[in-house]
Amino acid sequence: MKQSPWIITAALATTLAGCAERDTATTSPAASASVYEITARGLALEAADEIPSGWTTIRFNNQSGMVHFALVERLPEGHGVKEQQDQVAPVFQQGMDLLNAGNKKAANQKFGELPEWFGKIVFLGGPGMTTPGRIAETTVYLEPGNYMAECYVKTNGVFHSYNPDPQQFGMVHGFRVTTDKSGAPQPQATVRITLSGDKGIEVDGNPNAGEHTVAVHFADQKVHANFLGHDVHLARLADDTDLEKLATWMDWRQPNGLETPAPVEFFGGIHDMPAGSTGYFKVRLNPGRYAWVAEVDDPAQKNMLKVFTVR
């Protein structure tokens, strides 16, 4: 029973990829790619409990009325969603409540209560911020192990990953990556981004309108002041988008940071990954003004808020 949703999803994805392929008459890597479908519905993530290892396309279907994402984390063995909900999510929520009350010192003390195993979590990308009603696809290489997907966007100051009802979980989903191999090939990129603490977001060329597979190479990784590593999300900018407001929104520690609704439309991206990794995400660019932006404190200062125009 556990595996059946996965098989159905993979079969469906292969069929869809096969249809798309006829238009281009090329061999698309997506045709044989393994797809892990994660659906956001209300304040829950719905997905299979077990998937094969290897190159995995995480197809994040945001069926909810709010912006969400699906950060993928590899948890140390023996620690699952239950431990995360008991020992991690409440600490962040209580710390956030203290920040909102203007008590930075007490907040930092609270964050000091995070369990030792929290530092052993490996962040492995996963689809970035996704506007309601959109689908975002991100491809990463997953080793066998114990995983969790999480969304910690906030609504009314409460992280989606935290549920105040102790009987219920927040927006998290635990899953197992098995030793079975997905067999999917590494994607072929049409746009390349290099991400580093020193140079920020560096894009190879200015992408044209159309479909793209964006490769993101993490030249290095570090823990920023908001405890997160650098990553990349794609935002579409309106004529009146306030870039400073967007920059502040990207930092969850700010009272309005990651608070719904988002100040822009988001089309996915990729969350932080370890130094040396490469992950991929798909985008469809229409003519207009966009930004690549990282979920760190002060992204503009770090060259991690890059505005570009698609003609």
The contact set with Cu ion (CB under 5 A) reads: 68, 151, 153, 160, 171
H/E element holding 24?
A: helix 4-24
Cα dihedral sign, 275-277-282-288: positive
What minimum distance in Å lies between the beta carbon of 28 and Cu ion? 30
Please say whether the beta carbons of 218 and 269 come within 8 A.
no
Spatial separation of the C-alpha atoms in residues 10 and 15, rounded to whole Å: 9
Nearer to Cu ion, 68 or 224 (CB): 68
* H or E element that contains 19: helix 4-24
Nearest approach in angstroms of CB 151 to Cu ion is 3
Residues with Cβ within 8 Å of 162's Cβ and at least 6 positions away in sequence, in order, are: 85, 89, 90, 92, 93, 152, 170
The gap from C-alpha 110 to its chain's centroid, in whole angstroms, comes to: 25
CA 117 to chain CA centroid, nearest Å: 21
Amino acid at 10: A
Shortest separation between residue 22's beta carbon and Cu ion, angstroms: 36
CA 241 to chain centre: 22
The smaller minimum CB distance to Cu ion, of residues 151 and 215, is found at 151
For residue 175, give the amino acid letter: F
Select 40 or 283, whichever has its Cβ closest to Cu ion. 40
Is the CB of 241 or the CB of 260 nearer to Cu ion?
Answer: 260
| Shortest spacing between CB 126 and Cu ion, in angstroms | 12
In the complex with Cu ion, the residue whose CB is nearer, 160 or 302, is 160
Indicate the residue among 9 and 64 with the shorter CB distance to Cu ion: 64
23, 98, 115, 152 from 87: Cα distances, Å? 50, 17, 7, 15
CB of 160 to Cu ion, least distance (A): 3
Q: How far is the CB of 34 from Cu ion (least distance, A)?
A: 24
Q: Which is nearer to Cu ion, 171 or 294 (CB)?
A: 171
Q: How far is the CB of 67 from Cu ion (least distance, A)?
A: 7
Dist CA 259 CA 220 (whole Å): 28
